[in-house]
């Protein structure tokens, strides 16, 4: 992309008690793009997103740079769309008051105007009779309406960057699509970029411009989402895709052998090597750095040797435990 | 004779009818999926099949035996044969029990525990679900989500069930872990001839895994 990046992350490392969980991650976020951070539990994707927001959990230490650092302007230039709308909203204040408070937290706006903006924001996300519903408490909203309300709250100050951490994990398909549609509409309306943390590859396919695949705290592959998902260049991405039921040829699904390494117990060399059918000697000695490959970045010594389609690599890998 | 035969099942919570005249049958070795959005009544149907939630009306026949008219005491000898596996692998195992004790518990409760052969039986069950028996010493928080779900399946198998009621058993798992657990369930079904009532909101998983699908909406079957 030719545009000047909105955010540049360089060599981000996040550690707990000296054990690195995110291990030197670099990427750019471009204006108005949707960047999905994909990976499985423990890959470091949520921590990466939280680092952008300056919301790392207690006990985490981060090094590296995020430029510009928007975390001081959280709520105004960068905002979180939380996963659990019920716990993100205060149970003891009307929803409209909470949105108005979000407006007044970043700008000197008269109460009345903040309230009017709150009602307008609820109306924009499709909450019927918004003026009346603004006076209701979160428990009086349905789950879908609450999710819309937190999207309204995240976008009310027209931030440059939205960060959504697994925004639809707890929802069924129908509500998932609805919430993502509202999120996409609001994102476009305010012109924000979106960092979308998810393990749902269907969501990535339908909603992301680019996908950053993470494994064991590192970048595995970064490129246009449709290319990454249709023609992965990293064996780990191929393994993830192979394990999807829609790619199954018979009842048994291909699986990745073994389990991801626990933080602090990384194998030497490439963290994925012990599970990788392509792994050779060099993989066990030297951790691959992300390098340009076919217009993307991939961190694999042997990406050029991947079969096509790459999911074939895992077809005979069916006897793993998780 | 079907393994499970449900006719005109109605379940109410107060004045709300959560399941409204649902009928289906399940053969041994078959997987029947209940699919539908949140609140459609699929989990309530599962609870009613297991007679955890007693239905307001309708019939639930397990291997030809009508369950809805049985007392708790009469149900007790049948319960081991129909076992649930739940969505949240951590929530369905006590955090204070070692995995080995969680798997042994059904045997003890059912009076089938033998101090000599019991530990080997537990080790067998763990091995059967793809867990190294050394995991028996661990507690749930020391296992990954997929390992925990395997332990939950081992616990269900301890009762020698013929029906597993699987309520979103892979919904909380990452894709590659999910694939492993689905493969395990497929293997167990092939070997043991288990019938699966498989509740799942993910259509791609349902299409892959189930022999037949019942779509539910607002408590009713919307497509057979």
Q: Using one digit for the tens of pLDDT, what is the confidence trace for B176-197?
A: 889 999 999 999 999 999 999 9
Model confidence at A321, pLDDT cuts 50, 70, 90, reads very low
Radius of gyration over every alpha carbon of chain B, rounded to an integer in angstroms: 17
Whether A65 has a pLDDT exceeding 60, the answer reads yes
Tokens of B93: 């195992």
Whether A317 has a pLDDT exceeding 60, the answer reads no
- Bridge partner list, B67: none
Give every CB contact of residue A250 below 8 A, 6+ residues apart in sequence: none
What does the pLDDT read at residue B179? 93
Whether A9 has a pLDDT exceeding 90, the answer reads yes
**Do the strands B31-35 and B212-217 form a parallel or antiparallel pair, or are they unpaired?**
parallel
B41 touches chain A (CB under 8 A): no
CA of B138 to nearest chain A CA: how many angstroms apart? Answer: 16
A106 touches chain B (CB under 8 A): no
B222 touches chain A (CB under 8 A): no
The model's pTM is: 0.87
What does the pLDDT read at residue A320? 43
- Bridge partner list, A80: A163
Q: Cα–Cα distances in Å, from A170 out to A34, B38, B172, B198? A: 21, 10, 9, 18
- Count chain A–chain B contacts defined by CB atoms under 8 A: 79
What does the pLDDT read at residue A319? 46
What does the pLDDT read at residue A168? 80
Q: Cα–Cα distances in Å, from B191 out to A245, B25, B128, B133, B184? A: 22, 21, 11, 21, 11
Residues B82 and B6: their CA atoms lie apart, in Å, by 14
Whether A152 has a pLDDT exceeding 90, the answer reads yes
**B209: which chain A residues are within 8 Å (Cβ-Cβ)?**
245, 251
CA of A78 to nearest chain B CA: how many angstroms apart? Answer: 28
pLDDT, greater one: A170 or A57: A57
What does the pLDDT read at residue B42? 93
Mean pLDDT, rounded, for A37-52: 92
pLDDT, greater one: A87 or B12: B12
* Contact at CB, A201 and B209, closer than 8 angstroms: no
**A318: which chain B residues are within 8 Å (Cβ-Cβ)?**
183
Mean pLDDT, rounded, for A115-132: 95
Tokens of B92: 């369905």
Lowest mean pLDDT among A5-19, A43-57, A167-181, B70-84: A167-181
Residues B164 and B84: their CA atoms lie apart, in Å, by 6
Q: Is the peptide bond before A68 cis (omega within 30 degrees of 0)?
A: yes
Residues A143 and B75: their CA atoms lie apart, in Å, by 37
What does the pLDDT read at residue A285? 96
H or E element that contains B197: strand B195-199
Whether A74 has a pLDDT exceeding 80, the answer reads yes
What does the pLDDT read at residue A322? 43
- Bridge partner list, B59: B7
Whether A25 has a pLDDT exceeding 70, the answer reads yes
**Do the strands B57-62 and B163-167 form a parallel or antiparallel pair, or are they unpaired?**
unpaired
Per-residue pLDDT tens digits of chain B, which is 224 residues long: 899 999 999 999 999 999 999 999 999 999 999 999 888 999 999 999 999 999 999 999 999 999 999 999 999 999 999 999 988 878 889 999 999 999 999 999 999 999 999 999 999 999 999 999 999 999 999 888 889 999 999 999 999 999 999 999 998 888 888 999 999 999 999 999 999 999 998 888 999 999 999 999 999 998 76
pLDDT, greater one: A317 or A112: A112
Tokens of A158: 């027209």
Give every CB contact of residue B49 below 8 A, 6+ residues apart in sequence: B4, B6, B60, B82, B165, B197
CA of B70 to nearest chain A CA: how many angstroms apart? Answer: 35
Residue A301 exposed, middle or buried by CB count within 10 Å (0-12, 13-18, 19+)? buried
DSSP codes of every residue in A171-182? S-HHHHHHHHHH
What does the pLDDT read at residue B89? 78
């Amino acid at each position: 992309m030719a545009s000047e990046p909105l955010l540049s992350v360089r060599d981000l490392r996040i550690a707990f008690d000296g054990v690195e969980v995110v291990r030197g991650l670099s990427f750019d976020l471009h204006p108005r793009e949707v960047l999905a951070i994909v990976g499985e539990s423990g890959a470091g994707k949520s921590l990466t997103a939280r680092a952008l927001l300056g919301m790392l959990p207690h006990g985490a230490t981060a090094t590296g740079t995020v430029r510009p650092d928007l975390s001081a302007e959280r709520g105004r230039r960068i905002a979180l769309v939380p996963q659990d709308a019920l716990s993100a909203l205060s149970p003891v204040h009307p929803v409209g008051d909470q949105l108005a408070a979000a407006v007044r937290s970043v700008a000197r706006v008269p109460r009345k105007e903040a309230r009017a903006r709150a009602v307008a924001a609820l109306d924009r996300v499709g909450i019927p009779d918004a003026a009346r519903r603004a006076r209701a408490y979160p428990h009086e909203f349905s789950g879908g309406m609450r999710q819309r309300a937190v999207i309204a709250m995240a976008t009310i100050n027209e931030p440059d960057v939205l960060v959504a951490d697994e925004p639809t994990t707890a929802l069924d398909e129908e509500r998932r699509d609805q919430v993502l549609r509202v999120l996409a509409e609001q994102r476009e309306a305010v012109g924000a970029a979106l960092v979308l943390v998810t393990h749902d590859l269907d969501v990535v396919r339908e909603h992301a411009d680019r996908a950053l695949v993470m494994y064991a705290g590192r970048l595995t592959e970064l490129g246009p989402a449709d290319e990454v998902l249709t023609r992965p260049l990293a064996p780990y991405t191929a393994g993830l895709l192979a394990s999807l039921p829609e790619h199954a040829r018979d009842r048994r699904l291909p699986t990745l052998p073994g389990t991801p390494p626990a933080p602090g117990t990384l194998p030497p060399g490439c963290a994925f090597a012990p599970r990788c059918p392509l792994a050779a000697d060099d993989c066990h000695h030297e951790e691959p750095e992300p390098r340009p490959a076919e217009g993307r970045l991939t961190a694999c010594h042997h990406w050029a040797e991947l079969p096509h389609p790459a999911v074939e690599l895992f077809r005979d890998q069916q006897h793993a435990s998780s | 004779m079907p393994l499970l035969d449900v006719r005109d099942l109605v379940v109410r919570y107060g004045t709300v009818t959560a399941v409204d005249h649902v009928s289906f049958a399940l053969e041994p070795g078959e997987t029947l999926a209940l699919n539908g959005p949140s609140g459609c009544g699929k989990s309530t149907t599962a609870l009613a099949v297991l007679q955890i939630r007693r239905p307001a009306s309708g019939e639930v026949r397990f291997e030809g035996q009508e369950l809805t008219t049985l007392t708790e005491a009469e149900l007790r000898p049948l319960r081991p044969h129909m076992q649930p596996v739940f969505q949240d692998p951590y929530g369905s195992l006590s955090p204070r029990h070692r995995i080995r004790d969680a798997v042994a518990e059904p045997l003890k409760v059912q009076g089938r525990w033998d101090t000599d052969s019991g530990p080997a039986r537990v080790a067998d069950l763990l091995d059967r679900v793809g867990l190294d028996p050394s995991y028996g010493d661990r507690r749930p928080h020391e296992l990954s989500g997929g390992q925990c779900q395997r332990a939950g399946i081992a616990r269900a198998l301890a009762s020698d069930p013929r029906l597993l009621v699987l309520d979103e058993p892979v919904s909380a798992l990452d894709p590659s872990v999910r694939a492993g657990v689905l493969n395990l369930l497929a293997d167990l079904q092939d070997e043991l001839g288990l019938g699966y009532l498989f509740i799942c909101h993910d259509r791609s998983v349902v299409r892959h895994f189930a022999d037949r699908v019942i779509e539910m909406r607002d408590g009713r079957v919307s497509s057979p």
